Amino acid sequence: MDASRTLFELKSTFIRAQVRILSESLEAPEDWRSYATGSEEDELSDKAVQDALQKLNATLKQHNRIIYSSQAIQHVAQQIASLYWSLVSEATRNEGLGSKRVEKTVDLCSHFNIAQLPVELVDQSATEEQRSRYRRLREQLVRLDSKRQQRQRRLNQLRRLQSLLEPFLEPQKNIQPNLVMRDGELVQELEKMRMLVARVGGRIGQSKGSQNTEGTPPYALGSDEKLAALLDMS
């Protein structure tokens, strides 16, 4: 195993190689007719076989793109790496070695692995300069991991906000169409209200004019009479 690459990278490369093999186009062997059991009345032509293989290869490629996507490959590789390191950690604890040894293939992008790093360098033969360099690099790695977690939380928050704002992308379909459409229900109700206000205003003007003509003060009418005079449409 290449010591310069993490277990996650190695497994991802292996899975992608297997997917490429599965995605290769299928071809009929040259002597496929010797395996066929067709009748003389309905003999398969080379063109029919090629068309069938072309459709089959297209279906296989589409299937592989959906099933073996990059996200799926990364997920499987991460599961393999997590399972591997959990088994290694358990075996190490059983042997009494503890979890202080840092393997070369440890994925230092993982928060779990960073948290498991020892505070001090375990190697007894290490010099003071090497110990100081290890402490400095570990502190830097912890700071970067903390910043990445903050960015990840911020990203998750923005994604939630984006999902909440998705209905606003098409307001005419998702946000009360009567508020944004010219011929919506709200516009029709406002038009009715405008006409009613105009009619009521006209009746009030007529009522005042008739009262002034007859010399009857408006305060002489009772509330019921005022309402009847206001709503009288005849």
3-state SS of 107-157 is CCCCHHHHHCCCCCCCCCCCCHHHHHHHHHHHHHHHHHHHHHHHHHHHHHH
> How would you write the pLDDT of the chain (234 residues) with one tens digit per residue?
555 678 788 888 888 888 888 888 888 777 777 766 655 555 677 788 888 888 888 888 888 888 888 888 888 888 888 888 777 666 555 544 444 566 666 777 778 778 878 888 777 777 888 888 888 888 998 999 899 889 989 998 998 898 888 877 776 666 665 555 666 677 778 888 888 888 888 777 776 666 555 555 555 556 666 656 655 544
Structure tokens at 232: 């009288």
210 falls within a domain: no
Indicate if 56 and 4 belong to the same structural domain.
yes
Query: Which range marks the domain in which residue 74 is found?
Result: 1-27+45-103
Q: What is the pLDDT of residue 96?
A: 46
Indicate if 96 and 19 belong to the same structural domain.
yes
User: Which of 122, 114, 102, 162 is CA-nearest to residue 140?
Assistant: 114
